Amino acid sequence: MVALPEGDKQTRWNALHALVQADAVCRANVRPGKKVVLGVGDLEAKIMFVGEAPGAEEEIQGEPFVGPAGQLLTKMIQGMGLKRTEVYIGNIMNWRPQMPTAPGREQVGNRPPTEGELHYCLPYLRAQIEVVNPAVLVALGSTATQGLLGWGSFKALGDVRGRWHEFGGKPLMVTYHPSYILREPTNRKKRMIWEDLLKVMERAALPISERQRGFFLEK
C-alpha cells in the first residue's frame, strides 16, 4: 500500500509521481537515459485504461501508450467521443521489462512482465486509481488482466473479455490490447474491441450515437 498525503488530486498525484521516480527498484530496472513511467491524463476522468508495461517509445518519453499501439488507443478514445486528455491512461508496470542486450545496444522487442514484477508495481497502480477515482476501469490485454484479476485466473483472454469484473471496488471491463488490431486490422477484430468499449461508454453514462453503435459492422 502506498501512503499519500492529504490534499487535492494534483497534490496527491505529484507526491505519487515523486515516490515512483525515487523508487530504488524502479530506478534499478531502467537503463541509462530511459525513464520511469507513471500514468497520464485527466485526474477527474471517468474512464481509466490500464495496460501492462512501457515499451521502447514509452521509456524514452516517460509516458504510457505513445507508440503505434498508443496511437491506435488514441483513435479508439476519439471514437468514444472523447479526447485523450479526458481519460486517464496507465500501465501496471512503471518500467520496461528488460531483455538481454549487448552493451551499448538498444533492446529489441519486449517481453511480458513476470508475476513478481507485476506484484511489485501494482500498489502504484492502486494509488493512481485512488487518486483519480474513475467510474470505470478498462484492462487492455492479457497481461494487464492477469495483473488485475490475479495471475492464472484465466486461460485465454476470450474467457474473461467483454464482461464486467471488479478491481479495487471499481467495475472493470476486459478487452484486447490495441496491438491485437495492429497485427491483423480486420473489421471483425475492431468490432470485438468496440463492443467492449460501447459497454464502457454505457457504464460511464457517455452519450452514444447510432453511428457509433454501428462502427465496424461492415464486412
**How many distinct structural domains can be found in the chain?**
1
Q: How buried is residue 207: exposed, middle or buried, by Cβ count under 10 Å (0-12/13-18/19+)?
A: exposed
On whether residue 35 sits in a domain, the answer given is: yes
Could you list the residue range(s) of the whole structural domain that residue 167 is in? 9-96+111-213
pLDDT band at residue 131, thresholds of 50, 70 and 90? very high
Stretch 73-81: mean pLDDT, rounded? 98
pTM comes to 0.96
The whole-angstrom separation of Cα 175 and Cα 161 is 5
pLDDT at 219 over 80: no
On whether residue 185 sits in a domain, the answer given is: yes
Q: Which residues contact 6 (CB under 8 A, 6 or more apart)?
A: 12
On whether residue 34 sits in a domain, the answer given is: yes
On whether residue 219 sits in a domain, the answer given is: no
SS3 184: coil
On whether residue 106 sits in a domain, the answer given is: no
